[in-house]
Amino acid sequence: MTRPYNFSPGPATLPEAVLQQAAAEMLDWHGSGMSVMEMSHRGRDYAAIIEQTEADLRELLAIPPNYRVLFLQGGAQAQNAVIPLNLAALKPQRQMDYVVTGSWSQKSAEEAAKYGDAQVVASSASPTAGHTGGYTHIPDPATWRLRPEASYLHLCSNETVHGVEFHELPDLRALGSQAPLLIDFSSHMLSRPLDWSRVALAYGGAQKNIGPAGLTLVVLREDLLGHALPICPSVFDYRLQAANQSMLNTPPTYAIYMAGLTLQWIKAQRETVAEDAAELRGLAAVEARNIAKARLLYDCIDGSQLYVNRVDPACRSRMNVPFFLRDEARNAAFLAGAEARGLLQLKGHKMLGGMRASLYNAMPLAGVQALVEWMREFERQS
């Protein structure tokens, strides 16, 4: 049976090959007689899984050797508190700077204010947009009000709800800041390479691009360890987790296993770029495919009289594409027709309304082509 195309923003679609392998190994992993769900996280079999998963993650993202990889729980929202608990005291003033470009970075700033002097140093919110925030662009970094004694600067590099993405991360040194840059990259993690020369810490929930809900990845520079506030729970102390190889408590073992399978799937990807017939592999192939998928959908929207995307084209997300029907009375009919064609989970976030198509790594180009076909057919019916 042909599977439908699932455009959910998360938990999101997974590669079919990964699901098939997990199903085949469900009762017996590699002759161990156990499911991965049943293994001790301190046993030899599971050690092989988590070590290979970290090795593959390091290879794909080109993580430098002076960065540590933590496999944690609690989701990105927990990190909104865990980060200030660990890093607010990097400088005695406990100043934490936040750039707000959507609802997730706004939540991060609000949570951090419980643990120190959290200040929004730049925001793209529109004062007339009401509860939706009106986030449609990224403020020019030259206008950010960076504080010289800030412990860090935080931003969300892809806003899942509003569809705003930093395609190039800011160079804080060029802006005159010595603060480490921290990013929430939950919804574009492993969709493109990452410039670690500009990033001191990246974190995110895995349920968008690399596995099921339950796993939170934190990749951080070693000099950020050892600064936790006294009130920080031990299980959320980055130094303790790093010292125990993410085994201070039982990690999300099955979610890590699934992430490992997905990383192997990414490594095996191949893509030929038509312009020069070059074959790309691994993460480069995935990025090229993501660019093509996003371009196809945005071209359909921009060439339409019915659909509209309100985000500045310079920072439109490749992963999460919100769009609206100019005649919103037709929303229900659009969604019903989409579902009948096997195009699922296209309803927009409750904050914004409209539609949203999430084009994560596992969404094939054929799925976006099917969506565009339906969008054009529906417009012809209008």
Has residue 51 got a pLDDT over 80?
yes
Has residue 238 got a pLDDT over 60?
yes
- The whole-number pLDDT of residue 129 equals 74
CA distance 202 to 194: 10
The CA radius of gyration of the chain, in Å to the nearest whole number, is 21
- The whole-number pLDDT of residue 55 equals 98
The CATH code that applies to domain 18-264 is: 3.40.640.10
List the chain domain ranges: 18-264, 271-381
Quick: pLDDT tens for 115-165.
Answer: 999 999 999 998 777 777 889 999 999 999 999 999 999 999 999 999 999
What's the predicted TM-score (pTM) here? Answer: 0.95
Quick: pLDDT tens for 285-342.
Answer: 999 999 999 999 999 999 999 999 999 999 999 999 999 999 999 999 999 999 999 9
- 8 Å CB contact between 217 and 70: yes
Has residue 58 got a pLDDT over 90?
yes
CA distance 192 to 324: 27
**Reported confidence tier of residue 1, pLDDT bands at 50, 70, 90:** low
- How many angstroms separate the Cα of 376 from the Cα of each of 86, 357, 372, 379? 50, 15, 6, 5
Q: Which residues, listed in sequence order, are joined to residue 341 by a DSSP beta bridge?
A: none
- 8 Å CB contact between 247 and 42: yes
Question: Which residues are designated catalytic?
Answer: 104, 184, 208
Answer yes or no: CATH 3.90.1150.10 is held by domain 271-381. yes
